[in-house]
Structure 1
């Protein structure tokens, strides 16, 4: 490729456009080499923002000599905190389903289980297309090398000849199939035409990345600090008696402050009303490693009890080297035998200030808006009723990326505008509305507005038996505690015999 002064200026302009916050970035073009005919073609760059989704860089190449054309999408923003997993079921004969817009990042994998077919991240670069377009492109790329493949490996070429009609049948909607889009970077997206209502044909899940996925995205991580290994390391740290784990005063709150209040003549009832939650006497601090830059940092942990809820473990880490911060709230004790549904009737502004703990396994529903968020949509959050609604609004606009794009017709756009106005109207509490948090593991909580939860008539709790499907999704059906139960019973019997003697 022959480089000239103008092309250097264009490349510099593209870099400046990517780093700027101007949404009206112009179109830039660069002369580049065509990989098909080895002549010079033109690549055009456009930095654009998909409303309520991501800032992306679109590039399109065209060669006037051989007619070669291709396009690519790259993400100019940051990696998301969690990975995303989309699964859609396509019935036969529904062409509209195949017209769903798809944003596929460089790190995304696409699978069709029925065909035992997978498009790995390196096979297709980032693209902005539809479900039909992605499948047809995959079929064309596989078919392009068939002639050479027949000369080298006739048996594989024959198998591919039998496979391609099946793939094209799926792309045309002639056969039912399931498509799975998994992206550890969290930057991929499949359009939901029913938004903001749930899509009956699809499921969306967000998950924590494994150390291997973190490393593939360019993070410097220690695999021993991920998942179960991290919990084991934490347990070893807490059980150790060395100097690495130290204890420090929590501050002038919690149990210590309550004892002082009682010592000064205040009643226990006054102390309990003054300190809503019992904070710990001390915080345990132990060394750890930053999951982003691998520098040494500290993790602080304490156990506290939330009245009318349960004991919880609060963990917080901060890195002075890169500024990364992370906090987690984990339930203490055993897994509850029943799930819990929490219903809050929001009547006034004060109800918006209620404290809310929403776990990863909880779903959220607002019947007045026909709004349902499945478990895992928002992750685990500690906030207020107002903060939860604000997070829901922000999350819906992020997940349903093409909310106000050029491809959306006026009727759908007006529907979204009306829904967003109604969602924001909840925060003004012009009319009473209901918030329902359903948690199969009963790890969610909404604070009462009165000293005694029984006196709060706007807040209700309902326990229920989990279904087999819920236990299966949570992995509870595979838990076998019979050996542990037998060991505990044997230990108790031995202790009783020793006491009797």
Structure 2
């Protein structure tokens, strides 16, 4: 498909049809003629929309030039950007060649780091790819070595320094030395295989985080106005906008001043909590238009004060709600243990914060903090979310290269996880929250009478405080200010 005799014309409609296909399994293979960037002749690019089982829908593209032999492939994600970014830390010991065969999905927004070498592959250096740990390292070394002969002619010192670095990098790629492999993706669409799944991998740590404004902008989340301008707009709007429900409260205060009992009742009871529901302007995370966010502070019995926030966008219809803990940071962590014995236990309300880990000892299942984010659900809903999360995260569960024994292991685990909801035998649910912001509701009027539910407080370790960012908090200035205020009052 040529246009003007020298430029390729890609059949865009075919590519769009591939991306838009509902059934990725039966999606056809599309071929288009495109120009080779090495020799300038025409080669063939093949597109295939496929679904990596229990991971995500991806668009695979492969180019092949019959004239010069140039070949390359790329992975692009056809799904949505995840709510939070993800960061994988994997410790690779020397001599362990099995670690290098782990499959890695690297999106176009992900970066790869090896701290021991002070080495980083930025997102623009390697595009989205489906490879292994060894494949990524070898490719990086080959690309660095490609222009070494030209560098030696122009800048011998730089070429010599790169040669020394390549020796270290290839030592890592051949398992001669230990190193740390870090995969950081603000879009949350990257992945490193866990061969021990669904059990945790002792060498692999996964962290989920909120994106910074710069990362949001790089992913295309922000519109043309700068965030600073939007922040200034939001500040001025907050100053001139009355909180939602405060109209009724203001009228009630006026009625109290005028001693009009009829108007007091009419105005104050127009809203269930007239001064507690507030509305302030914000920016839609989907279309970047101005929208409204409502915030409500309430106290959950036997638990603590929480902040409920809900956002709605009239432009695109986006809706989002989340629950945040209120009050001060607890001095101790909390471990909640529930013995699930009957159907009523499955309907217990559960608040799982984004700092809580989940354990089910009967399945040898342990989810690190942040895996499911902060959710408000029931015991049954939590088990279902765990199942969905495992199927999404462990993307290569039923790939073509998976052995029959591992496949049977996964099928058996999913069957055991489903049986939890049938209550064929009692099981235990444990929420371990370093910030004590999680909760499981009792079924009795007095929480002390619920013998199936136990709460245990514990002292956080230095590592837990460091992971939560508590070791970096400096309150000396605030403490000094409070002391001076108390002294002045005295």
TM-score of the superposed pair, with normalisation by structure 1:
0.87
Structure 1 residue aligned with 2:227 = 223
C-alpha deviations, 1:61-91, integer Å up to 9, x for none? 1222222211111111111111110010100
Q: CA deviation at 1:203?
A: 0.3
Map 1:61-460; keep pairs closer than 5 Å: 61-220=63-222, 223-224=227-228, 240=239, 242-247=240-245, 280-281=273-274, 282-460=276-454
The offset of 1:25, in angstroms, is: 1.1
In structure 2, the residue matched to 1:253 is none
How many Å separate the matches in 1 of 2:304 and 2:237?
Answer: 24
CA distance in 2, matches of 1:146, 1:482: 54
Residue 491, structure 1, aligned to residue 489, structure 2: no
SS of the residue corresponding to residue 383 of structure 1 reads strand
Note the residue ranges of structure 2 that are not aligned, 5 or more in a row.
249-271
In the alignment, the residues of structure 1 paired with residue 76 and residue 367 of structure 2 have an alpha-carbon distance, to the nearest angstrom, of 29
Distance change >3 Å, CA 47–CA 246, structure 1 → 2: closer
**Count of paired positions:** 461
Shift, 1:168, TM fit: 1.2
Is the contact made by 1:295 and 1:321 (CA closer than 8 Å) also made in structure 2? Answer: yes
Q: For residue 463 of structure 2, what is the aligned residue in structure 1?
A: 469
> Equivalent residue of 2:245, what SS?
strand
2-structure distance, mates of 1:34, 1:59:
14
User: Which secondary structure does the structure 1 equivalent of 2:83 belong to?
Assistant: coil
Q: Aligned partners of 2:352 and 2:315: how far apart in 1?
A: 31
Distance change in 2, residues 1:4/1:458 (3 Å): farther
Contact residue 109 and residue 183 of structure 1 kept, 8 A: yes
Task: Answer whether contact 2:351 2:377 (CA < 8 A) is retained.
Answer: yes
Deviation at 1:9, TM superposition (A): 8.4
Q: Alignment partner of 1:58: what SS?
A: strand
Q: Return the alpha-carbon distance in structure 1 between the equivalents of residues 468 and 29 of structure 2.
A: 49
**Deviation, structure 1 residue 209:** 1.0
Change (3 A) 1:300 1:435: same
* Alignment correspondent of 1:20: 21
TM-score normalised by structure 2 residue count = 0.89
Shift of 1:57: 1.1
Larger deviation, residues 374-383 vs 290-299: 290-299
In 2: Cα distance, 1:366 partner to 1:249 partner: 49
Aligned CA distance change for structure 1 residues 4 and 71 (closer, same or farther; 3 Å): farther
Instruction: Report if aligned partners of 1:11, 1:30 keep a CA contact under 8 Å in 2.
Output: no
C-alpha contact 2:234 2:282 (8 A) present in aligned 1: no
Residue 47 (structure 2) aligned to one of 45, 48, 62: 45
Q: Are the equivalent residues in 2 in contact too, given 1:290–1:319 (CA < 8 A)? A: yes
Pair 1:233–1:40, CA change in 2 (3 A): closer
CA distance in 2, matches of 1:287, 1:102: 40
Contact 2:341 2:425 in 1 (8 A): yes
